[in-house]
Amino acid sequence: MLDDAGLRALREAARLSPENLPLRQHLAGQLLAMGYLAEAEAEYRAALVLAPKNADITAGLAEAFVRQSAYGAALAALEPLLASPGYPPKLGVLAARALLAEGDTARAAHRYHDAVSRDPSVGDADLAARLSAPPVPASPYPAPAPAPAYPAAGSPPPDGAEVERAGFSFADVAGMEAVKEALRIKLLLPLQQPELFAAYGKRAGGGVLLYGPPGAGKTHLARAAAGELGAAFVNVGLADILDMYIGSSERNLRATFEMARRNRPCVLFFDEVDALAARRSDMRQAHTRQLVNQFLAELDGVDQKANEGVLVLAATNAPWYVDVAFRRPGRLDQPVFVPPPDAAARAAILRILCRDKPLAEMDFDAVARATEHCVGADLKGVVDRAVEAKLQQSIRAGRPIPLSTPDLLAAAQTVRPTAVREWMSTARNYVMHANDSGAWDELMPWVKRKW
Ligand code: ADP
């Protein structure tokens, strides 16, 4: 590494030949190594203007961002290169670091493993250790019952299902007070105070069906519930299970439940649970029925204690497709509506989404007013877009410019939140015309509004 005099000389040389790319890159690398992060960032940005899409410079810039805790900016810088299938593996490792820091362990692990499988030399032992779930503390729950002969014991879990540790809790879910309270009472308290519930003949376990428009935060909420409880989190897309070739879906489902039981306390999250029913009309009807039965058998558990400490959360955008058998007592018998956020909740979501970004003084209420009918996913899109624009502006200016209210307002103009309106109109049909059992009464006030 250079000494101060060497660094001064290098700076001076770069100043005299600003178009000399290798020189600027060398200076940026030295600054990064010496910990002058803001200056390194500025040098890399300037170098990137000379050589856009240069992988080494992008990596340096992303590294400077990550070391300054600007994870969103790092990901935004990496994104254009990561989008191509042959991206340089070291960029994947950097993205993994940023994603992990943002709490997105699943995507971080995916990025990391993909990168290392292509080039083992980019491996980072420390990062790999942080990506693998920490050991589960001694469990107060009974060991899982041995698996019956069929399906085969030790079957691999379905693709994509991994044990995660959520890095956040209900405090990171903005608004939704009624929904959080419902989950606390239905799921968390029985698990936190099993003796009290046992005294009334109630067991911890069982399930909740979260439903609502896409992007309203069902997955986010399920992850937060796991974090709130210090429980493991297993996320399964039912469509993935269904897409396995016929005959092995049941095995995958069993393996997934077994994985959750081994990691109790655990929140087992099934997204798109309506996929099971949506396939009813297709050629594989008999197979789907078998799979539904298997799912119900797993939910019921082989014995009283099988699912103790396993909380099943299922989510759907189309609750009316979900088999009524799922909603029998002890199964997913507790539907909870996850509504689109109102203005106060939108402001709170925006505040959470922006909290790790460099900010000017913000008027989140104004942005909330300008994003009517937006759900959490739309708001995330608004913030991502504003950050990207700001980043480009900053690159041009050669210095970081904080995100401001007008940036968010400008980005908000470009989103078209159609999902909620469409969802409400479908929901209205079911609530008005197919609500004999009163299952959708909770939606009545919502669908009556103008969307
Ligand atoms: P769904 O599962 O209902 O389709 P998601 O949970 O995937 O929706 O939400 C999309 C994204 O929106 C989340 O990753 C999160 O960043 C953001 N989000 C949604 N709701 C909230 C909320 N209440 N508080 C904070 N962020 C939220």
Question: What is the DSSP annotation of 197-238?
Answer: HHHTT--S-EEEEEE-STTSSHHHHHHHHHHHHT-EEEEEEH
Q: How confident is the model at residue 139 (pLDDT cuts 50, 70, 90)?
A: very low
For ligand 1, what atom is nearest to the CA of residue 315? 2
Domain boundaries in the chain?
Answer: 5-131, 163-337, 343-416
Amino acid at 147: A
User: What's the gap in Å between 76 CA and the centre of ligand 1?
Assistant: 19
Does residue 38 contact residue 50 with C-beta atoms inside 8 Å?
A: no
* H or E stretch covering 66: helix 55-67
HSE at residue 181, side-chain half, CA atoms within 13 A, is: 4
Q: What per-residue confidence (pLDDT) applies to 366?
A: 97
HSE at residue 398, side-chain half, CA atoms within 13 A, is: 6
Lowest mean pLDDT among 109-113, 263-267, 285-289: 285-289
Does residue 385 contact residue 36 with C-beta atoms inside 8 Å?
A: no
Q: What per-residue confidence (pLDDT) applies to 144?
A: 43
* H or E stretch covering 50: helix 37-50
Q: What per-residue confidence (pLDDT) applies to 138?
A: 38
Is pLDDT at 140 greater than 50 in this prediction? no
Is pLDDT at 181 greater than 60 in this prediction? yes
Measured in whole angstroms, the distance separating CA 340 from the mean position of its chain's CA atoms is: 18
How many C-beta atoms surround the C-beta of residue 342 within 10 A? 12
CB-count burial class (<10 Å; 0-12, 13-18, 19+) for 387: buried
User: Of 168, 165, 184, nearest to 176 (Cα)?
Assistant: 184
For ligand 1, what atom is nearest to the CA of residue 212? 3
- What the block records as the tokens of 13 is 């040389």
Q: What per-residue confidence (pLDDT) applies to 277?
A: 60
- Could you tell me the CA-to-CA distances from 205 to 191, 266, 332, 352 in Å, in that order? 7, 10, 11, 30
User: What's the gap in Å between 98 CA and the centre of ligand 1?
Assistant: 19
Is pLDDT at 154 greater than 60 in this prediction? no
Q: What per-residue confidence (pLDDT) applies to 243?
A: 58
Highest mean pLDDT: which of 44-48, 57-61, 329-333, 421-425? 57-61
Structure confidence by residue, pLDDT tens digits, 283-314: 456 666 777 888 888 888 766 678 888 889 99
User: What's the gap in Å between 114 CA and the centre of ligand 1?
Assistant: 26
From 220, 316, 346, mutation site for ligand 1 pocket: most ligand atoms within 8 A of C-beta: 220
CATH fold of 5-131 reads 1.25.40
Q: How far, in Å, CA of 107 to CA of 105, rounded?
A: 6
Q: How far, in Å, CA of 80 to CA of 203, rounded?
A: 50
Phi, psi of 42, deg, nearest 5: -65, -40
Q: Which residues share a beta bridge with 314?
A: 209, 270
Q: How far, in Å, CA of 11 to CA of 15, rounded?
A: 6
User: What's the gap in Å between 409 CA and the centre of ligand 1?
Assistant: 20
Does residue 232 contact residue 136 with C-beta atoms inside 8 Å?
A: yes
Highest mean pLDDT: which of 155-159, 166-170, 248-252? 166-170
Highest mean pLDDT: which of 25-39, 58-72, 189-203, 278-292? 25-39
Question: Percent of the chain at pLDDT above 70?
Answer: 86
Q: Which CATH class is domain 343-416?
A: mainly alpha
User: What's the gap in Å between 219 CA and the centre of ligand 1?
Assistant: 7
Q: How confident is the model at residue 69 (pLDDT cuts 50, 70, 90)?
A: low
User: What's the gap in Å between 220 CA and the centre of ligand 1?
Assistant: 5
- What the block records as the tokens of 371 is 């994003």
Structure confidence by residue, pLDDT tens digits, 320-367: 878 778 878 778 877 899 999 999 999 999 999 999 888 988 999 999
Among protein residues, the one with the nearest Cα to ligand 1's atom 11 is: 377
User: What's the gap in Å between 349 CA and the centre of ligand 1?
Assistant: 9
Among protein residues, the one with the nearest Cα to ligand 1's atom 18 is: 376
Q: How far, in Å, CA of 93 to CA of 101, rounded?
A: 12
For ligand 1, what atom is nearest to the CA of residue 175? 23
For ligand 1, what atom is nearest to the CA of residue 210? 3
- What the block records as the tokens of 272 is 């798109």
Q: What per-residue confidence (pLDDT) applies to 370?
A: 96
User: Of 257, 253, 259, nearest to 275 (Cα)?
Assistant: 253
Among protein residues, the one with the nearest Cα to ligand 1's atom 6 is: 217
Residues 6+ apart with CB under 8 A from 186: 206, 208, 334, 336
SS3 of residue 8 by DSSP: helix
For ligand 1, what atom is nearest to the CA of residue 221? 6
User: What's the gap in Å between 178 CA and the centre of ligand 1?
Assistant: 16
Is pLDDT at 179 greater than 60 in this prediction? yes
Q: How far, in Å, CA of 59 to CA of 372, rounded?
A: 38
Q: What per-residue confidence (pLDDT) applies to 214?
A: 87
How many C-beta atoms surround the C-beta of residue 156 within 10 A? 12
Strand pairing of 266-271 and 232-237? parallel
Query: Whole-number mean pLDDT of the chain?
Result: 83
Strand pairing of 232-237 and 163-165? antiparallel
Q: How far, in Å, CA of 97 to CA of 318, rounded?
A: 35
Query: DSSP letter string over 135-177?
Result: PPPPPSSPPPPPPPSSSPTTPPPPTT--EEE-S--GGGS-S-H
Question: Percent of the chain at pLDDT above 90?
Answer: 37
Q: Where does ligand 1 bind, in terms of residues with CB under 6 Å?
A: 173-176, 214-220, 315, 349, 352, 376-377, 380
Q: How far, in Å, CA of 294 to CA of 291, rounded?
A: 5
User: Of 225, 50, 378, 104, nearest to 367 (Cα)?
Assistant: 378
Q: How far, in Å, CA of 314 to CA of 324, rounded?
A: 14
Amino acid at 330: G
Among protein residues, the one with the nearest Cα to ligand 1's atom 9 is: 217
For ligand 1, what atom is nearest to the CA of residue 376? 19
**The CATH number of the domain covering residues in 163-337:** 3.40.50.300
User: What's the gap in Å between 21 CA and the centre of ligand 1?
Assistant: 42
Phi, psi of 61, deg, nearest 5: -65, -45
Q: What per-residue confidence (pLDDT) applies to 267?
A: 92
